[in-house]
Amino acid sequence: MAILPSDTNTELLLVSFLKQQIASTDSTPSFGPKTPGLREGSTAWITAVAHLAMTFTPRNGLTSSKAISCRLPRPTAFPAVSLTRPVAIQISPPSCQGCHINSSLSPVVVTGGCGFTGFHLVTGILELEPDCTIHVIDINTNRNRVAGAHPKTVFHLACPDSTVKQPAVFKRVNVVGARNLVAAARKTVHVFVNTTISSVVHDNKSDLRDADETLPVLKYPTQKRVYTLTKAEADAHIKAANREGGDNASMLTVELRPGTIFGPRDTICMGKIIANARAGKANIQMGPGNNYYDFVYVSNLVDANILAAKALLNAYGKPTPPNDMRVDGEAFNVTNDEHVEFWEFQRAIAALIKRVLGYKPKVGIDEGLAVAGKWFMEEANKAK
């Protein structure tokens, strides 16, 4: 097994998991500057990650839970927003549960690999492929040079904090960073999985009920959030790179639009909810409390990322499949199959991704809250 983080910060983040989860003793992971593939030098990948690695506002975790379409605007009354499968697209069960499940993802690049979702994705990949070579690129590292990286699979999770009032940062990281990544990826990458935000179809004030992937991406002036506009621009650029060289040996891309992500290590959604509760603010409710809201437990989003990558690997180098079987070039909502009222949890309908990728959330809302809540309590006790 070869794990290639960029410095000791990454090592500290990943090593605790590895010690607990990797039972084999005959394959020892290595970290740090001495790891093969981290030699100095200028490559396309160094250029590609320059904006991703150097222009972030330091943070811990992704910001999708701050910007998704089912995130309800503050501080006024909430519109109703829920995601579901599209009516206009009929998707047959995919083959991704069978023939391509054994297709290796390695070598892999994970941008934002030290963030909330990125950490769990690295964990999930290693559980599936203990021998997978993973190059982690993140603002939390100071050695984002991966001169030895010739990745086959890219998982793009990196993004700046959507609450930062610096539109120029959004442009540099989301748009320029994505363009640089795509430019570098064209040389060796087979599949490119882009985790983005669902708010590209939401104006942050109107009700969205059973929203699906057939809704158009909003542009200015309908969409006024600079962060969302830059994410949409980046998404369009990544999508345009799909099969741009034809069917043979051309990179395939897919776009995932998650609901509000929650789970252990989440400082954006659950972290702030718990902080407010501790501050005695949990008794404040905005609106009547009957508006729908979509969540996704972080490990379920990890499953969706891996299933999407596997589906693209199976399609790589082959003719474009029929629309009802196609994954590449498409966008998929990813939820927990339980879109719920904002203040209370109730059963709802899954997104299209469940049928296309064979995606089914393994961790329910109640179980996810229990696991994440336990983690937060343990962390609080450690801090005492």
Q: What does 2-36 look like in DSSP terms, one character per residue?
A: -EE-SSHHHHHHHHHHHHHH---SSS----STTST
Mean pLDDT of 43-58: 31
How confident is the model over 297-345, as pLDDT tens digits? 899 999 999 999 999 999 999 999 888 889 999 999 998 877 666 555 3
Mean pLDDT of 222-232: 92
Strand 252-258 and strand 191-195: the pairing is parallel
The long-range contacts involving 121-125, CB below 8 angstroms and separated by at least 24 positions, are 121/155, 121/157, 121/302, 121/305, 121/306, 122/14, 123/17, 123/21, 123/302, 124/299, 124/302, 124/303, 124/305, 124/306, 125/306
Sign of CA dihedral 187, 193, 194, 199: positive
Contact assessment for residue 293 and residue 70, using Cβ atoms and an 8 Å cutoff: yes
- Could you give the CA distance from residue 131 to residue 125 in angstroms, rounded to a whole number? 10
Quick check: 157 pLDDT over 90?
A: yes
- Could you give the CA distance from residue 276 to residue 282 in angstroms, rounded to a whole number? 6
How many other CB atoms sit within 10 Å of the CB of residue 341? 16
Instruction: Find the CATH number of the domain harbouring 169.
Output: 3.40.50.720
Pick left, alpha or beta for residue 212 (phi over 0 → left; psi -120 to 50 → alpha; otherwise beta). Answer: beta
Per-residue model confidence (pLDDT) at position 61: 24
Alpha helix stretches (DSSP H) within the chain: 8-21, 44-48, 50-54, 64-67, 116-128, 167-170, 177-185, 226-240, 270-278, 298-315, 353-356, 365-383
How confident is the model over 244-261, as pLDDT tens digits? 988 777 999 999 999 888
Q: How far is CA 115 from each of CA 200, 256, 338, rounded to the nearest angstrom?
A: 22, 17, 25
Q: Considering only CA atoms, which of 249, 119, 252, 243 is closest in space to residue 192?
A: 252
How confident is the model over 72-105, as pLDDT tens digits? 222 233 344 455 433 222 222 333 343 344 589 9
- Could you give the CA distance from residue 154 to residue 182 in angstroms, rounded to a whole number? 10
Q: Considering only CA atoms, which of 308, 94, 273, 104 is closest in space to residue 196?
A: 308
Per-residue model confidence (pLDDT) at position 329: 94
Contact assessment for residue 312 and residue 357, using Cβ atoms and an 8 Å cutoff: no
Quick check: 29 pLDDT over 50?
A: no
Strand 340-341 and strand 208-211: the pairing is unpaired
- Could you give the CA distance from residue 181 to residue 16 in angstroms, rounded to a whole number? 29
**Strand partners for 136:** 110
Domain with 16, as residue range(s), is 3-383
Share of the chain above pLDDT 90, in %: 30
pTM of the model: 0.68
- Could you give the CA distance from residue 255 to residue 192 in angstroms, rounded to a whole number? 9
Looking at the structure of the chain, the number of domains it has is: 1
Mean pLDDT of 147-156: 86
Quick check: 35 pLDDT over 50?
A: no
Contact assessment for residue 359 and residue 311, using Cβ atoms and an 8 Å cutoff: no
φ, ψ (nearest 5 deg) of residue 367: -65, -40
